[in-house]
Amino acid sequence: MSHERPSETSAPAGLEVLISELHIKSRAREFDISREEFGSILNQIAVKYCPEAPTGVRELYLTLHVEELVLARACAAGHEKAWEHFLVRYREKLYEVAGYIAKEAAAARELADSLYADLYGTQAREGKRVSKLASYTGRGSLEGWLRTVLAQEYVNQYRRQRRLVSLEEESEEGTQYAAPQKEAVPGIDPRLERATDQAFAALDSQDRFVLASYYLDGRTLAEISRQLRVHESTISRKLDKIAKSLRKNIITGLRKAGMSSRQVEEALQVDVRDLSINIRNRMAQESDRKSFPGEKAEAPAGDRSR
Amino acid sequence: MQELPKVVQHRLASGDAGPHPDPDLLTAFAENNLSERERSLLVTHLSRCFDCRTIIALAQPAEETITVQAPERTPWLRWPVLKWGTAIACVAIVGAAISLYREHPEQYTPRDTGAAVTTALQSPREEERSSLNLERKAAEQKAAQPARAASSTPKTDALGSVAEKPAKTMAMRSDAPSSPVRQAPESLNESTAVRDLEKKEAVTQGKAKQATGDELRAAGPAANAGLMDRKSHSADVSLASSLAPRWTLNADGTLQRSLDGGRTWNKIAVSSDAAFRVVAALGSDVWVGGAAASLFHSRDAGEHWLQVKPSDGNHILAGDITAIELTDSTHGRVTTSNDEVWSTEDGGNSWQQLW
């Protein structure tokens, strides 16, 4: 049995009926999106999310929010009626969500305005208006997507602001108030590193996510439980269990590596901030990392309103 | 919670997370709309990527808050006032009753009781006035006829003067049947206006204190019983308001109800296979909705449930229910995950799709 990679123009075999049904369900005709155009949009999504085999395409199509997908694509294409619908449904929510994320009125307004401009597509490239809405694929609800994009934009703005340090601050930080050079201290014991890495390797990704959310990000049990859709008490028990087993596995690893009980205790009590880890280099690497791509798919510039 | 050694936390923070997922995948993760494989890959990324975890957390909608509308009440009629008012009124009544039994057990007549009951039914201001009149009259008569006062009790005189006064109280008494002792409790039960007066009376502690010994003596045991009824009625009112049911949904979409102001919560079995996302309540009308168009309605604060399947001619509500808004017991609106908006104007019997 051979698996054909779906092309961006033709629908995977046997899905024609489903696409027709979804086309009707999505009310694409209200926004002048034909059956063929709709099929092409779905096909692009299938290529993006099921590139290897077409087996999961049907399930993928069935989980798509097709009505919102059509609305977003029609807005991206400049359809006037679609924009009216979009504004009625989402404009107010957009500002509400921005307020919830930014917590401060002026910043929230700026955040929402910035995204709104991106959604509308104020920039044109090669005669085509670029709208962020064209990148929406209907995997989640449009409202949820707007929330995520707003949150992403907020994180990007925060990163940008941190990088733009004024010259005065830079000179103060760099010359006048330069911190004294710390004496070199020994690094983490490689045996501890190995034991910790081995203990982490035994965790599944969800356990690691729970640990990171709680211990690194300071999220509450309620927040984590909502993200993973399990009960708060389950997260509490899981955290306790993971932390205990992690500690136990590390201690076992250190013992195997020849450490005495006293050395193990001392190794685990070492504060990483006291060690000679090259934090500056690590930070530099992190800031070199690209911020979230503000990818804006291209959409035809023509006004399709009737 | 177990403490994690700093070294372990540091190792937890390190590691390459790889390329960031697009907002669609993050949204689908937050809405539990990913395949197992995709979810597993995304959780692996999230476990190593602080930024994406932050985005997921920021993009999470605010926790659903359910407000159960309490019946309107005047601002001064609050629980502390009710509580202390009831307690003080109770003490005053018991004290007065004890003194009545000890001092003048022979003077309890049906007629006196009727006077006291009608006095109690007056507005607080009228009650104050009549109370002051009673005291003044008694004092005047004591001063003018000390001998008479010695031969007959001041209470009889006071009541006599009340009986002679052509006041509103008297008009009520004259209209009343010949046996006011038996009639008074009935009128208390029947008239809602009277109940309102009773509530006001119960909570105004100053006025309760002004219920003089003379009046209470005139009231007799039957009136005391009436006052006790009123006291317990006030307590019932306050208890009922504090027991207004509160509703919430737990993380796995089970409906929960609290009858003690949120101290304890009980799971309410609505449907075995429905995972609810939203609940709205207005008085005893409760609506709960969730995945796969599951929508249930209870008219009796969660005792009985009826599944509602909104349809508008050919179209049937099909998505997950994400919001329920109630304007009153008959008007409501339901929003679905595919952004359909349905409304009803007859308590859920018929539906109209707005979007």
Same domain, A268 and A145: no
Going by pLDDT thresholds of 50, 70 and 90, the confidence category of residue B186 is very low
Which of A87, A145, A247, A275 should one mutate to test binding to chain B, selecting the residue with the greatest count of B CBs within 10 A? A145
Instruction: Check residue B94 and give its pLDDT.
Output: 93
Going by pLDDT thresholds of 50, 70 and 90, the confidence category of residue B325 is confident
Same domain, A142 and A289: yes
Contact residues, chain A, for B48 at CB < 8 Å: 208, 212
- Tell me, yes or no, whether A236 lies in a domain: yes
Contact residues, chain A, for B2 at CB < 8 Å: 239-240, 243-244, 247
CB contact under 8 Å between B338 and A148, yes or no, is: no
Tokens 């356990």 locate to: A207
B169, two tokens: 């109280």
Same domain, A55 and A92: no
Contact residues, chain A, for B10 at CB < 8 Å: 272, 277
CB contact under 8 Å between B27 and A192, yes or no, is: no
Going by pLDDT thresholds of 50, 70 and 90, the confidence category of residue B138 is low
Same domain, A118 and A258: no
Same domain, A196 and A255: yes
- Tell me, yes or no, whether A101 lies in a domain: yes
- Tell me, yes or no, whether A70 lies in a domain: no
CA atoms within 13 A on the CB side of A67: 15
Nearest CA distance, B129 vs chain A (angstrom): 57
Residue A279 has pLDDT above 50, yes or no: no
Instruction: Check residue B130 and give its pLDDT.
Output: 46
pTM for the model: 0.50
Alpha-helical (H) ranges within A128-204 are 142-163, 167-171, 190-201
Contact residues, chain A, for B20 at CB < 8 Å: 292-293
CB contact under 8 Å between B12 and A137, yes or no, is: no
Q: Mean pLDDT lowest for which of A204-213, A217-226, B64-73, B277-286?
A: B64-73
Q: How far apart are CA B308 and CA B306, in angstroms?
A: 6
Model pLDDT for residues A84-101, shown as the tens digit of each residue: 999 999 988 888 899 988
Which of B22, B60, B353 should one mutate to test binding to chain A, selecting the residue with the greatest count of A CBs within 10 A? B22
Give just the sign of the alpha carbon dihedral B15, B18, B22, B28: negative
User: What value, to the nearest 5°, has the Cα angle with vertex A134 and ends A3 and A119?
Assistant: 155
Same domain, A83 and A147: yes
CB contact under 8 Å between B13 and A212, yes or no, is: yes
Instruction: Check residue A147 and give its pLDDT.
Output: 92
Nearest CA distance, B334 vs chain A (angstrom): 14
Instruction: Check residue A140 and give its pLDDT.
Output: 92
Contact residues, chain B, for A192 at CB < 8 Å: 7
Model pLDDT for residues B150-183, shown as the tens digit of each residue: 444 434 343 333 333 333 333 333 333 333 333 3
Residue B238 has pLDDT above 60, yes or no: no
Instruction: Check residue B71 and give its pLDDT.
Output: 47
User: Looking at chain A, how many residues does it have?
Assistant: 306
Going by pLDDT thresholds of 50, 70 and 90, the confidence category of residue B320 is confident
Distances in Å between the Cα of B36 and the Cα atoms of A75, B1, B223 are 32, 30, 73
- Tell me, yes or no, whether A57 lies in a domain: yes
Contact residues, chain A, for B8 at CB < 8 Å: 196, 199, 246-247, 250, 268
Q: Which of B4, B10, B50 sits opposite A217 (nearest CB)?
A: B50
Distances in Å between the Cα of A95 and the Cα atoms of B110, B152, B181 are 71, 81, 66
Contact residues, chain A, for B61 at CB < 8 Å: 147
Same domain, A260 and A290: no
- Percent of chain B whose pLDDT exceeds 90: 5
Q: How far apart are CA A268 and CA A260, in angstroms?
A: 12
Closest CA to B40 of A206, A258, A90, A254: A206
Same domain, A112 and A246: no
Average pLDDT in chain A = 78
Same domain, A142 and A217: no
Going by pLDDT thresholds of 50, 70 and 90, the confidence category of residue B1 is low
CB A154 within 8 A of CB A111: yes
CB contact under 8 Å between A140 and B30, yes or no, is: yes
- Tell me, yes or no, whether A72 lies in a domain: no
Question: What is the average per-residue pLDDT within A184-190?
Answer: 62
Same domain, A119 and A267: no
DSSP 3-state assignment of B343? strand
Other CB atoms within a 10 A radius of the CB of residue B87 amount to: 13
Same domain, A129 and A270: no
Choice between A291 and B259, residue whose per-residue pLDDT is larger: B259
Instruction: Check residue A257 and give its pLDDT.
Output: 84
Residue A229 has pLDDT above 60, yes or no: yes
How many distinct structural domains can be found in chain A?
A: 3
Going by pLDDT thresholds of 50, 70 and 90, the confidence category of residue B345 is confident
Q: Which of B7, B31, B63 sits opposite A272 (nearest CB)?
A: B7
* B6 touching A (Cβ < 8 Å): yes
Contact residues, chain B, for A247 at CB < 8 Å: 2, 4-5, 8
User: Exposure of B294 by Cβ count < 10 A (0-12 exposed, 13-18 middle, 19+ buried)?
Assistant: buried
B59, two tokens: 């993009």
- Tell me, yes or no, whether A10 lies in a domain: no
Instruction: Check residue B9 and give its pLDDT.
Output: 79
Average pLDDT in chain B = 67
Which of A50, A89, A97, A148 should one mutate to test binding to chain B, selecting the residue with the greatest count of B CBs within 10 A? A148
Could you list the residue range(s) of the whole structural domain that residue A49 is in? Answer: 16-64
Q: What is the CATH number of the domain that holds A253?
A: 1.10.10.10
Contact residues, chain B, for A211 at CB < 8 Å: 4, 12, 47
Question: What is the average per-residue pLDDT within B224-230?
Answer: 43
Question: What is the average per-residue pLDDT within B77-98?
Answer: 86
Going by pLDDT thresholds of 50, 70 and 90, the confidence category of residue B126 is very low
Same domain, A83 and A160: yes
Question: What residue in B sits closest to A194 (Cα-Cα)?
Answer: B11
Q: Mean pLDDT lowest for which of A233-247, B10-24, B41-55?
A: B10-24
Closest CA to A5 of A37, A50, A64: A50
Q: How far apart are CA B303 and CA B269, in angstroms?
A: 10
- Percent of chain A whose pLDDT exceeds 90: 21
CB contact under 8 Å between B27 and A232, yes or no, is: no
- Tell me, yes or no, whether A213 lies in a domain: yes
Model pLDDT for residues A37-65, shown as the tens digit of each residue: 999 999 889 888 887 666 778 888 989 99
Highest-confidence range of A137-151, A171-185, B182-196, by mean pLDDT?
Answer: A137-151
Choice between A305 and A31, residue whose per-residue pLDDT is larger: A31
